[in-house]
Chain A
Amino acid sequence: MTEFAQQLINGLSLGAIYALIALGYTMVYGVLRFINFAHSDVFMVGAFAGFYIGRGMPKESFATGFLALAGAMAVCALLGVTIERLAYRPLRNRSKLTVLITAIGVSLLLENLGQFIFGAAPKAFPTLFPVHTFKLAGLVIGSNQLVVLVVALALLGALQYIVLRTKIGTAMRAVSFNPQAASLVGINNDHIISFTFALGSALAAAGGILYSLNYQAIDPLMGVLPGLKAFVAAVLGGIGNIPGAALGGLLLGVVETFVNGSRFSTFTDAIAFAILIAILLFRPAGLLGKMQVEKV
């Protein structure tokens, strides 16, 4: 029973990170109807931004940690907007395949630039937050796990507030519902899309830092696998659906942690893809998504 609870906590803290990344995929899909392959590399850039900011700080404290978090989120928001402006906006009316290939190109570019600038060898991530291990009724909970859960929950809450309660959030939902009708009522689609990229990329940066706090090593290709898994989480919850992405992320994190603790641990990396194939075959709209009929 204790072991079950322990695995559940580990799984939830991994899942919270997947959820943060998955939100970026799902929001961009919501407004542009395409998968931003470069998102996983924005996650990587976020981790490196946190690395360089954190290394410049005197010593770890909550102030340092949150400063690095905020700094990395700002850097990535800017990066996301730039990518959208330079690579995706000129392709707004082109075929989906062209945009997809461009996104793969941007992803490769970030990875290779990362290897060129940061070096391909893994780097040790600084301990941004004070570390303490809590022992409670046989459970071992690291302070970093708590930081991950608290930060992720706070960001999810903030996102929910922005999307549901603010003017720009309403505009986002309008664009995702029907871009033409949104521009008819005076919404500037380009601004909303830029804002969506900024928001999604900032969340990815937060995910990158939280991930690195737990895994302690970062390298320019670190985004590939978590990125793909977060995408699976987005599809699992129903792509384009914000609560769905959070649910999918948490579910995937828990399932993966349990598989990793079982005797099938060497198959952990395949689990996400098996889930993806199953969900696409049996419920393509995802757990919380609505089935859409293609109109001719």
Chain B
Amino acid sequence: MIPRSQIVLVSALAVAGLLAVLQPRLDDYFALIISNIGINVILAVSLNLINGYTGQFSLGHAGFMAVGAYSAAAITMFGAPKFAPALTQGAGVHVLFPLALVGGGLAAALAGVLVGAPSLRLKGDYLAIVTLGFGEIIRVIFRNVDSVGGALGLNGIPAYTNLFWVYAFAALTVYVVGSLVNSTYGRGFLAVHDDEIAAEAMGINTTRYKITAFVVGAFFAGVAGGLYGHSILTIAPTGFDFMRSIEIVVMVILGGMGNTTGVIIAAVLLTLLPEVLRMVSGVRVELPFAAPFNNLKWIADTRMIIYSLLVIVLMLARPQGLFNWTNRGATKPKI
């Protein structure tokens, strides 16, 4: 009997292959949106391991993404031509790119250890601020390193990202996070989330679980960063700011913290939403009662206001998330 998660992995990889075959027939614009959906799925599912399952509130995911994006780009742009020029041509690219992505992921994972370490002593609000500060520090550092373009950013990254790699890594992320959390070992993450003191009293090494969550989450954020960089071909420190982290956090909150399926749905919807609004904003409808609103552009303008209201209303009315049908993540009041 093959475990269910492996069936899911294999079918997801098959979908990735299918998308790769279909890509030449797709419009560039749609291919880009589908690729962004996959990248956001990786980001949201990996953040869900830290924020959702383990209950450590991180606001620095864009920082990990930046480390991955810069490291992967450095490997394909500077490292490979110098040390392994054969890999930069022809079929060698198919070996180089996944290696570069993993390299970016490992660099981000190292950063994850650095951020995970203070998290051992900090909880909730403090951790949120420290991870946020860490993300800002990373941006300031990249802004000051001239060899990766400084404030202007890094240009001319080779266009290696395609739908196959995006969805193969998305499938891998979902598989790894899912297997980790549903294993005997992974019950520890949920225990840390539910009650850290009780978990510690039960003999769970909470330190190790928190670090593991940060390292695994950061690794996949780094991979997503690498995919992102090789897809838009130019990266700058401003692209990985606080608002980027917030976007990913909103996906996790909307989907329901600690619910991978919900988070995937939320990542897909929130990536599509701005595109749909952009299309809708050109449309005119005749509303007899509201003449100033005839042009639907106002919907696109108020998108971010609606986002933030959604977060507040969700926390007041349905803190377990929109797409969470189990009750995990719904937090009970503590006495």
Contact surface of A with B, Cβ cutoff 8 Å = 34-35, 87, 90-91, 93-102, 104-106, 108-109, 111-113, 115-116, 224, 228, 231-232, 235, 266-267, 269-270, 272-274, 276-277, 280-281, 284, 294, 296
Contact = CB atoms under 8 A, between A and B. Distances in A.
A294 B305 CA distance: 38
14 contacts: A87-B312, A94-B331, A95-B319, A98-B319, A100-B57, A108-B307, A113-B305, A228-B132, A228-B136, A231-B129, A272-B133, A273-B137, A277-B118, A280-B130
A91 B316 contact: yes
A90 B129 CA distance: 24
Interface in B118-171: 118, 121-122, 124-126, 128-130, 132-134, 136-137, 140-141, 143-144
Contact of A116 (B134, B305, B331): B305
Interface in B31-60: 55, 57
Contacts of A270: 136-137, 140-141
The 10 closest A-B pairs by CB, nearest first: A273-B133, A105-B311, A95-B331, A108-B308, A109-B308, A270-B140, A105-B312, A112-B304, A35-B125, A102-B315
Nearest to B135: A273
Bin chain B's interface residue count. 35 or more
Given A98-B331, A276-B133, A296-B197, A108 B315 contact: no
A6 B204 CA distance: 55
Contacts of B144: 266-267
A260 B311 CA distance: 37
Contact of B121 (A87, A115, A267, A280): A280
Contact of A100 (B124, B133, B301): B124
A280 B123 CA distance: 11
A95 B242 CA distance: 24
Given A95-B319, A116-B305, A267-B140, 11 more contacts: A91-B316, A100-B57, A104-B311, A105-B309, A228-B136, A232-B129, A274-B137, A277-B130, A277-B134, A284-B126, A296-B197
Q: Identify whether the interface residues of B are mostly helix, strand, loop, or mixed.
A: helix
A245 to B, nearest CB: 15
Contact of B118 (A115, A228, A281): A281
A108 B57 contact: no
Interface of B: 55, 57, 118, 121-122, 124-126, 128-130, 132-134, 136-137, 140-141, 143-144, 197, 242, 246, 249, 253, 301-302, 304-305, 307-309, 311-312, 315-316, 319, 331-334
Contacts, number: 115
A8 to B, nearest CB: 25
A277 B312 contact: no
Contacts of A269: 136, 140
- The residue in B121, B133, B137, B143 that gathers the most chain A C-beta atoms within 10 A of its C-beta is B133
A272 to B, nearest CB: 8
Contacts of A113: 305
A94 B246 CA distance: 22
Nearest to B59: A104
A149 to B, nearest CB: 28
A269 B246 CA distance: 20
Contacts of B141: 270
B197 to A, nearest CB: 5
Contacts of B307: 108, 112
A109 B305 contact: yes
A224 B242 CA distance: 10
Contacts of A35: 125, 128-129
- The residue in B121, B143, B197, B319 that gathers the most chain A C-beta atoms within 10 A of its C-beta is B319
- The residue in B57, B125, B304, B334 that gathers the most chain A C-beta atoms within 10 A of its C-beta is B125
Contact of B309 (A99, A109, A116, A294): A109
A102 B125 CA distance: 12
A94 B129 contact: no
A206 to B, nearest CB: 24
A285 B201 CA distance: 25
A7 B9 CA distance: 60
A102 B132 CA distance: 17
A35 B311 CA distance: 17
A270 B319 CA distance: 33
Contact of B315 (A34, A91, A235, A294): A91
A95 B329 CA distance: 11
B312 A94 contact: no
Given A224-B242, A267-B144, A97 B311 contact: no
- The residue in A91, A93, A105, A294 that gathers the most chain B C-beta atoms within 10 A of its C-beta is A105
